[in-house]
């Protein structure tokens, strides 16, 4: 058996699954072509390898009596490390999932194969479905309704390790089988960048576009902060405009990218409550979501560090974390989204 496994190259590492008893796995590259006489079910990564030259039943029984290895645990998703020569179609086929589900579960990824980064990780669901980070206040019914599926399909999917709707907790990672990514919103017209009341939107990453007041490079040291409601949104960082909202690289970019120095402070665009503060393999890396008093939400991704915790209330301008390049990322920057009514909108239409 050792010789058989060795012939397939690097092993699959099993890491703990966030928030539940299930596990996720990390695969280094696509499954290799099995040696002669062996077959590998590419649609079920992590399954036991099988040989076309099976030993007799008695031999199997003898082998099983001495097999002390752990029983494989179903994984809700795997992290695939991109290798030279990988393509999105090949990755999808190797894991037996639709190409759309590779794209939908990695929102920072485009369908252009040239955007694949060697050594980066892709989030691949174990079934056609969406991987979802449970947020503060979420319920199974709300999650299922948002993605147009039956709540029982979420509860009944074994790798989710749920026994009832009441067993979900913030920070868990669920797979929503059969979920379809909501259609992107209509692309809103870009504001007139010549308007003197707006920061200049420039192509040169060396030119700063805006310096919001009160943004520090480290979290505030005050031991206690009184929550103060805010109106409107403020720029979360001082930086450079890298990429806008809308179609990009064959997919839809749900926010804007703002370049800044590593470790620069990222400020809350508005006052509210932190409903998610986590690391995810979905391309966002370290990211934080804040829900505001009007029900809107802002998302801050690719952080090098997160300074806030789930359930914490933050004021507009309070530092949430630091700029970095975690997740699916090239260069230190902040990916920033505004969601209104559950849909992403163009932040440039709402920032001062």
| Residue 189 tokens, joined | 């017209």
Q: What are the tens digits of pLDDT across the range 303-347?
A: 999 999 989 999 999 999 999 999 888 889 999 999 998 888 999
Give the SS3 label for residue 55. Answer: coil
Give the SS3 label for residue 169. Answer: coil
Q: Which helix (H) or strand (E) holds 143?
A: helix 140-147
> Which residues of the chain fall short of a pLDDT of 50?
1-24, 31-73, 192-211, 213-214
Could you tell me where the beta strands, DSSP code E, fall in 91-172?
A: 121-125, 129-133
Per-residue pLDDT, 339: 92
Specify whether the CB–CB gap between 24 and 17 falls below 8 A.
Answer: yes
pTM of the model: 0.58
Per-residue pLDDT, 190: 53
Per-residue pLDDT, 27: 57
Per-residue pLDDT, 75: 80
Beta bridge partners of 240: 259
Domains of the chain in sequence order = 1-182 (no CATH), 185-352 (2.70.70.10)
Gap between the Cα atoms of 109 and 116, Å rounded: 8
Q: What contacts 175, CB < 8 A, 6 or more positions away?
A: 76, 77, 125, 126, 127, 129, 130, 131, 132, 157, 159, 160
């Amino acid at each position: 058996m050792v010789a058989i496994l060795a012939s397939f190259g690097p092993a699959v590492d099993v890491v703990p699954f966030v928030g539940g008893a299930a596990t996720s796995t990390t695969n280094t590259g696509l499954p290799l072509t099995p040696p002669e006489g062996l077959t590998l079910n590419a649609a079920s990564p992590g399954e036991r390898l099988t040989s076309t030259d099976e030993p007799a039943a008695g031999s199997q029984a003898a082998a099983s009596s001495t097999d002390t290895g752990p029983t494989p645990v179903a994984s809700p998703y795997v992290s695939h490390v991109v290798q030279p020569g990988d393509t999105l179609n090949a990755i999808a086929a190797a894991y037996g999932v639709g190409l759309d589900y590779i794209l939908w579960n990695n929102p920072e990824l485009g369908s252009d194969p040239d955007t694949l980064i060697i050594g980066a990780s892709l989030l691949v669901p174990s079934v056609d479905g969406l991987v979802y980070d449970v947020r503060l206040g979420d319920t199974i019914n709300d999650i299922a309704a948002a993605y147009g599926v039956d709540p029982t399909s979420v509860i009944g999917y074994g790798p989710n390790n749920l026994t009832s709707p009441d067993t979900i907790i913030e920070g868990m990672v669920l797979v929503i089988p059969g979920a379809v990514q909501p259609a992107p919103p209509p692309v809103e017209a870009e504001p007139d960048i010549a308007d003197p009341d707006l920061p200049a939107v420039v192509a040169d990453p060396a030119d700063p576009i805006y310096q919001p007041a009160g943004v520090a490079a480290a979290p505030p040291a005050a031991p206690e902060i009184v929550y103060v409601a805010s109106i409107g949104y403020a720029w979360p960082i001082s930086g450079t405009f890298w990429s806008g909202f809308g179609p990009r690289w064959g997919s839809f970019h749900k926010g804007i990218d703002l370049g800044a120095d590593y470790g620069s402070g990222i400020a809350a665009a508005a006052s509210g409550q932190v409903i998610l503060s986590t690391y995810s393999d979905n391309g966002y890396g370290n990211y934080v979501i804040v829900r505001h008093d009007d029900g809107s939400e802002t998302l801050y991704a690719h952080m090098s560090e997160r300074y806030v915790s789930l359930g914490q209330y933050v004021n507009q301008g309070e530092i949430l974390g630091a700029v970095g390049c975690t997740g699916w990322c090239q260069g230190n920057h902040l990916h920033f989204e505004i969601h209104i009514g559950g849909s992403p909108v163009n932040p440039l239409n709402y920032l001062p």
